[in-house]
Structure 1
Amino acid sequence: MANTAAVEGAEAAATKFGLIEALNDGGALSWTLFLLMVIMSAVSWYILFTKLREQSKILKDGTEGANRFWAAGNLKDGAAKFDKNSAYRQLVDDGHRAEDEHGKLTDPVDQHEWVGNSLARSQGLINAKLSNGLAFLATVGSTAPFIGLLGTVIGILKALIKIGASGDPSIDKVAGPVGEALIMTAIGLIVAVPAVMSFNWLMRRNKLIAEQLATFANDLHGFMASNGAVRPLIKAAPAAKAAPAAAPKKA
């Protein structure tokens, strides 16, 4: 009988206290804060997956695409080895365009400096594009805990007002509503922690991409300044193991 009563009491408590009950007790403001955190979480995960896909494509071009580019005979053929919207294709096109535009300048400028500045500007634009959305992740990571805390404060305030109006300050009347209000703080942390981790991870990958782009741009600059005489060494693909020779047949 005692166990049955305990189970029934636990079920009653679970029915009485919960997320929906906490939001209803908090009113329109609690619901607004909850929906805001849901939107922040959804956008954060969207940014994470889209950025990972974008970064993976660039990293792949930095290895496979770059090897195909340097194996080509000239810039035009090499550029065709990259996708049209590739970051590396953008670097090649901007470098080639800068080389063509140098002859149209009325004020003499060293071609080496002109092409180098154009490649640096192109790298800056690519890095800026890769950073799009990361500021939102940082904002979510820093503000979501406080938004959840605000929801908790509102819930506790309304719970205490109800308890004071009822005139029953016993522990069973206080612990439930206060514990229920803490759900909002937990939600804020659930939203913030993945956003902070995503921000740090994406920033580290962006730094790696920036280093690879800078190396490629430097090699490209040397290639253009030397009319194709200077190019980086290409790592040869590992040769396939030869099949073992068949044993000679006995006569």
Structure 2
Amino acid sequence: MTVMGLLFKGDAVSSAVAVVLLCMSVCSWVVILWKSWLLQRAHTDVARSTAAFWQAPAMDDALRTLPAFDREALVLPLVQATQVQQTGTLGAAGDRSQQLTRVLRDALHGVLRKLQSGQVLLATVGSTAPFVGLLGTVWGIYHALIGIAGTGQISIDQVSGPVGEALIMTAAGLAVAIPAVLGYNILGRFIGRIEADLEGFALDLRELLLSQTKP
């Protein structure tokens, strides 16, 4: 019997476990495929956008040309954050260096939240799916033993069939968890690289703006 067989022929608990595992698998694969596409675009966008920015003759020109290269809006928010003028607020307190550090940090955090979206789901699926499958296995073995005890006769054939069917849930839990864990780790490395590029650009942008304000 497969997981789909347990879904339609098992009791309420077995069916619920099968549904949860199926939902976990679908959600994790959707996130993996979507994030792979997103991060591929993001990696290309950051490289193209930073190159376009540094080739622009002035800040106004850079702000006009960046949207054409920054499809995922990762670099443009950092540049736009430095152009917001605050007066009469605590945000405007301190020297120019402190203000730039604050606005760039906030903008960078917003961009990184976008890149990190979906990672929590993959981590959750990877850590909980084996236990969900184990729950289905324990429940299935329990009912299998109850059924065997009710017959009054115990043989290898009677034990191996129901127990083997119950163990399918453990295998299903691992089959759901392994792709989620691998996806989380691989995508996390790509996110780390893009994050390092964005942090480097934010630092260079800060130094550029500070040098322009010096007398």
Q: Same fold (TM over 0.5)?
A: yes
Q: Which residue matches 2:64?
A: 80
Structure 1: state its 5+ residue gaps: 1-16, 230-251
Using the TM superposition, give the Cα deviation of residue 25 of structure 1 relative to its aligned residue in structure 2, in angstroms: 5.7
2:141–2:166 Cα contact (<8 Å) kept:
yes
Q: Which residue matches 1:61?
A: 45
Q: Give matches, 1:173-188, under 5 Å.
A: 173-188=158-173
Higher share of residues assigned helix: 2
1:214 equivalent among 199, 203, 210: 199
Q: Give matches, 1:131-210, under 5 Å.
A: 131-210=116-195
Q: Which residue matches 1:32?
A: 16
Q: Which residue matches 2:82?
A: 95
TM-score when normalising by structure 1: 0.77
Alpha carbons of 1:204 and 1:52: their partners in 2 closer, same or farther (altered >3 Å)?
same
2:6–2:15 Cα contact (<8 Å) kept:
no
Work out the CA distance in 1 between the residues paired with 2:106 and 2:113: 11
Q: Which amino acid aligns with 1:86?
A: A
CA shift digits 1:84-115 (9 cap, x unpaired): 75110111101121xx33xx246752112211
CA-atom RMSD, angstroms? 2.1
Q: Which residue matches 1:248?
A: none
Higher radius of gyration, 1 or 2: 1
Work out the CA distance in 1 between the residues paired with 2:5 and 2:77: 54
Work out the CA distance in 2 between the residues paired with 1:224 and 1:215: 14
2:78–2:104 Cα contact (<8 Å) kept:
yes
Q: Which amino acid aligns with 2:80?
A: D
Identity of aligned residues (%): 37
Report the count of equivalent residues. Answer: 209
Q: Which amino acid aligns with 1:213?
A: L
1:41–1:191 Cα contact (<8 Å) kept:
yes
Work out the CA distance in 2 between the residues paired with 1:61 and 1:133: 20
Alpha carbons of 1:23 and 1:52: their partners in 2 closer, same or farther (altered >3 Å)?
closer
Using the TM superposition, give the Cα deviation of residue 211 of structure 1 relative to its aligned residue in structure 2, in angstroms: 0.7
TM-score when normalising by structure 2: 0.89
Using the TM superposition, give the Cα deviation of residue 54 of structure 1 relative to its aligned residue in structure 2, in angstroms: 2.3
